[in-house]
């Protein structure tokens, strides 16, 4: 009965100030949608970085018609250059293996590659002695017989790493600024709710209602506001996260993060929304609901 009472109170409060509640929910929604979008984008960036493994900076993709001896000769030649620290021959099988690892969550992609292994060429993966040497190595590889494409990932890696850093900073600032706004807006709705019910609260205190019995409906109201905002943010990003990630990612094969990752983040976000609501209502009640 008490639980029912508390819930009824919280919901009645939410209804009473629907406009103010709306603004608080929107603040939480915008904050958490931006945060969630940032998390999704960062996920794709991180995956791009994995793709360009740190140890392999220059990749020479080889023509499919080369024999093993020819490849051996090429490997030995490249190994002979003084800018080169190490040359690894990466077979088609290994490439497929790596592809499977990266796209473990996308069986349709893996299927395509397995049906037509020529999509993934064999390659020489070359580690420069100095990171800065990569352009020299690239220039020499490009003119080499049997190499059909050279990929020097340095620029991309630099860009990605710095973008990841920017993203992190961006997300943090969004959380701080919009989080503060959301807390203030929720505090405001709580204060209005308390004001609207001040007579009732006065009587409750007079007849000896427990302090928490008086407070909990208001805390709950804030938590509900925060969680509605968070739930909306989650559904919004879930619906549009994939396209956003695709838009911003440098990888040719960008895709939406897997569902279990999304679920985990969604729970974190809901928790975050609830916490924002709780802090907001605590601020709203500050000094108001003492005995």
Partner 1 sequence: MQDVAKVYDGGTVAVRDIDLEIFKGEFVFFVGPSGSGKSTLIRLMLRQELPTSGQIWVAGKEITALPGWKVPLLRRSIGTVFQDFKLLPSKTVHENVAFALEVIGRPKHVIRSQVPQVLKLVGLAAKADRLPNQLSGGEQQRVSIARAFVNRPLILLADEPTGNLDPATSVGIMRLLDRINRTGTTVVMATHDHAIVDAMRRRVVALERGRVIRDQSRGAYQMGDEPVGVSQGIEHDLNEG
List of residues contacting partner 1 (CB under 8 A): 1-2, 5, 199-200, 202-211, 213, 290-291
Q: How far is the CB of 17 from partner 1 (least distance, A)?
A: 16
Alpha carbon distance 231, 32 (integer Å): 9
Measured on CA atoms in the order 164, 167, 171, 173, is the torsion positive or negative?
positive
Cα–Cα separations (whole angstroms), residue 282 to 75, 97, 191, 217, 289: 67, 53, 10, 12, 10
Specify the residue, 115 or 291, whose C-beta has the smaller distance to partner 1: 291
Specify the residue, 3 or 19, whose C-beta has the smaller distance to partner 1: 3
Q: How far is the CB of 202 from partner 1 (least distance, A)?
A: 7
Q: How far is the CB of 216 from partner 1 (least distance, A)?
A: 12
Specify the residue, 161 or 196, whose C-beta has the smaller distance to partner 1: 196
Q: Which residue has the tokens 């992609």?
A: 109
Secondary structure (DSSP) of 246-274: HHH--STT--PPPHHHHHHHHHHHHHHHH
Specify the residue, 116 or 199, whose C-beta has the smaller distance to partner 1: 199
Quote the tokens at residue 69: 């001896």
Q: How far is the CB of 283 from partner 1 (least distance, A)?
A: 20
Specify the residue, 145 or 199, whose C-beta has the smaller distance to partner 1: 199
Q: How far is the CB of 225 from partner 1 (least distance, A)?
A: 24
Q: Which residue has the tokens 């590659």?
A: 113
């Amino acid at each position: 009965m008490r639980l029912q009472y508390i819930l009824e109170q919280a919901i009645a409060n939410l209804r009473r100030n629907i406009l103010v509640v709306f603004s608080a929910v929107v603040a939480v929604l915008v904050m958490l949608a931006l945060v969630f979008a940032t998390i999704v984008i960062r996920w794709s960036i991180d995956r791009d970085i994995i793709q360009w493994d740190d140890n392999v900076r220059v990749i020479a993709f080889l023509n499919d018609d080369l024999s093993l001896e020819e490849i051996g000769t090429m490997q030995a030649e490249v190994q002979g250059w003084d800018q080169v620290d190490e040359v690894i021959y990466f077979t088609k099988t290994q490439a497929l293996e790596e592809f499977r690892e990266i796209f473990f969550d996308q069986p349709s992609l893996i299927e395509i590659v397995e049906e037509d292994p020529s999509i993934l060429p064999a390659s020489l993966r070359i580690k420069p002695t100095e990171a800065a040497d990569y352009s020299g190595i690239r220039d020499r590889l490009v003119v080499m017989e049997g190499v059909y494409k050279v990929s020097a990932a340095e620029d991309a890696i630099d860009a990605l790493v710095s973008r990841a850093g920017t993203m992190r900073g961006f997300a943090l600032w969004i959380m701080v600024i919009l989080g503060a706004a959301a807390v203030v807006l929720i505090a405001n709705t709580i204060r209005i709710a308390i004001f609207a019910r001040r007579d009732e609260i006065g009587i409750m205190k007079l007849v000896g209602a427990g302090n928490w019995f008086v407070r909990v409906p208001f805390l709950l109201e804030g938590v509900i506001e925060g969680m509605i905002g968070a739930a909306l943010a989650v559904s919004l990003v879930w619906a549009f996260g994939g396209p956003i990630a695709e838009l911003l990612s440098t990888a040719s094969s960008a895709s939406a993060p897997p569902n279990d990752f999304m679920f985990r983040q969604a729970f974190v976000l809901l928790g975050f929304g609830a916490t924002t609501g709780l802090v907001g209502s605590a601020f709203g009640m500050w000094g108001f609901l003492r005995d």
